[in-house]
Amino acid sequence: MKWKQPLGPAAFIAFLLVWWQVELSRQAVHPLPTPLQVLAGLTELIAKGLLLKYVVASLFRVTWGYVTAALLAIPLGLAIGWYKRSEMAFNPWIQVFRPISPLAWIPISILWFGVGDISAIFLIFLATFFPLLVTGINAVSNIPEVYVNAGRNFGLRNARLVYHVLYPAVVPQLIVGMRIALGIAWLVVVAAEMIAANSGLGFLIVDARNAGNRYDLVVAGMVMIGVIGFLLDIGMRSFETIPSVRWGYSED
């Protein structure tokens, strides 16, 4: 029955919470705060209005950095993948810059933009631009040649060829790439906020650690990061249910 499907994950989460309460929080050396202490920390943050403020700050930076990267990287990647000569020209540069960790750009971002939103948005943009660019290139490159030839044989040209052949062929791969890139963006914003921002969930963790070793707030921030990341992934997966792209996913 459908109502029984969530019981397995719920039971496992309950087991982890009990184990956390009984074992991890009673370690002789550096014990973790208990789940109840973490819940009390979250309640404290909510009462002070800090939790909503920090969550909104992190989501604001992720939205701007991720959306900007997607708007630039995906069309550029599709164009590069469609025109083989451009792929030969741009690929060496892409492979040089792509392996550079976005965290390595933190000193440069602070130098250019200072400590604040723009610096964090810049880091998120860099972290997601190249994965989305490569996803777009590979999505077009993997289109079977027979699809394109069939479209041209039916008289499809330019915009109609893009809409009827290119779009349905690449969107399933793009959604997977966008899911991965969004996860990267959420990871990077937390790291960036620990160094290059004075708000957000990453800043909350560092500030709680420095302000009297409030590890209940540290773990509370970690829990919020995990929960929001989970919800963001669910939101991205909802795009897989769009009728025009469902063909690209297995029914299993």
Query: Over 145-169, what HEC string results?
Result: HHHHHHHHHCCCCCHHHHHHHHHHH
Domains and CATH numbers, the chain: 35-248 (1.10.3720.10)
Helix axes 106-113, 117-141, angle to 10 degrees: 130
Up-side HSE of residue 189: CA atoms within 13 Å toward CB? Answer: 31
Give the pLDDT of residue 173: 82
Query: What's at 27, amino acid-wise?
Result: Q
Give the pLDDT of residue 27: 59
Identify the segments of the chain with pLDDT beneath 50: 2-3, 249-252
Give the pLDDT of residue 125: 93
Query: What's at 150, amino acid-wise?
Result: A
Contacts of 223 (CB under 8 A, 6+ apart): 38, 42
Phi, psi of 142 (to 5 degrees): -90, 0
Give the pLDDT of residue 71: 94
Query: What's at 172, amino acid-wise?
Result: P
Up-side HSE of residue 70: CA atoms within 13 Å toward CB? Answer: 16
Give the pLDDT of residue 252: 45
Q: Can you list the alpha helix ranges (DSSP code H) found in 31-116?
A: 35-48, 50-82, 84-97, 106-113
Up-side HSE of residue 21: CA atoms within 13 Å toward CB? Answer: 10
Predicted model pTM: 0.81
Task: Name the region of 116 (left: φ>0; alpha: ψ -120 to 50; beta: rest).
Answer: left
**Token pair of 121 as six digits:** 């948005």
Query: What's at 8, amino acid-wise?
Result: G
| SS3 category, 28 | coil
Query: What's at 85, amino acid-wise?
Result: R
Q: How far apart are CA 230 and CA 235, in angstroms?
A: 9
Residue positions counted in the chain: 252
CB 38 within 8 A of CB 220: yes
